[in-house]
Amino acid sequence: MNEPVSYRLEGKTAVVAMDDGKANALSHAMIEGVTAALDRAEAEASAVVLAGRPERFCAGFDLRVMMSGADAATALLKRGAGLLLRLYGSALPVVIACGGHAMAGGALVVLTGDLRVGAEGPFRIGLNEVSIGMPVPVLAMELARDRLLPTALPRATLHAHIHSPGEALAAGFLDVVVPPEDVLPRALAEAARLGALGRVPYAATKERLRGRTIALIRDTLDADTHALLTLAGM
């Protein structure tokens, strides 16, 4: 089986591509691969582009693991939360190249980006937890509260609305929507622009912008994960 994450340098930008050959679920292998790519990028790049496979950006947490028991679900959720918070607080600019569907945990990956480029097309982006009988986790709610327009937040979370790319742009999931073939080139151009900014002031400003949210999520993660799995009967 091929590795689900690839890494390459384009100038000073690290291109991290997720591709498990299927829906790009957040499995342990996917989380490990993206984490290792971020380690490498922090040592040799000035910015990161995080991309998915064509038409499939990320489907969220691996349901096979999530349904296999409380211990397995807890372990995956905590590792995934660690990755999301690392992306959200990364000292490097992180540009998302969302070339397709991004559901549940995949939509959260999109929300972690400093700039989010999406593809035009029949794609779905959103937080579907309430529609499948689960409350929106604190992690997801706080990322959404930070990134979405206040008027879009209830529809995106409480109503479990699933957005088209145009709707995602209007709500705040995405910053720009372009034809699919332009997603990666636009993401690379934006990463080069952001990567040219001073790394120290960029990182310090990001901490001031997002540090409180990250601290809140970390402080509530264990209790909220237990509450979610209890409600799910696990």
With CA atoms as reference, report the closest residue to 84 among 102, 65, 58, 110. 110
pLDDT by residue for the chain (234 residues), tens only, comes to 589 999 999 999 999 999 999 999 999 999 999 999 999 999 999 999 999 999 999 999 998 998 888 899 999 999 999 999 999 999 999 999 999 999 999 999 999 999 999 999 999 999 999 999 899 999 999 999 999 999 999 999 999 999 999 999 999 999 999 999 999 999 999 999 999 999 999 999 999 999 999 999 999 999 999 999 888 777
Q: Is the dihedral of CA 38, 42, 182, 96 positive or negative?
A: positive
DSSP secondary structure code for residue 107 in this structure: H
CA distance 80 to 211: 18
Domains and their CATH numbers in the chain: 5-195 (3.90.226.10)
pLDDT of residue 70: 86
pLDDT of residue 1: 52
pLDDT of residue 67: 84
With CA atoms as reference, report the closest residue to 155 among 180, 137, 136, 138. 136
- The helix or strand, by DSSP H or E, that contains position 35, with its residue range, turns out to be helix 28-44
Q: How many residues does the chain have?
A: 234
Other CB atoms within 10 Å distance of the CB of residue 198: 9
DSSP secondary structure code for residue 54 in this structure: T
CA distance 106 to 50: 12
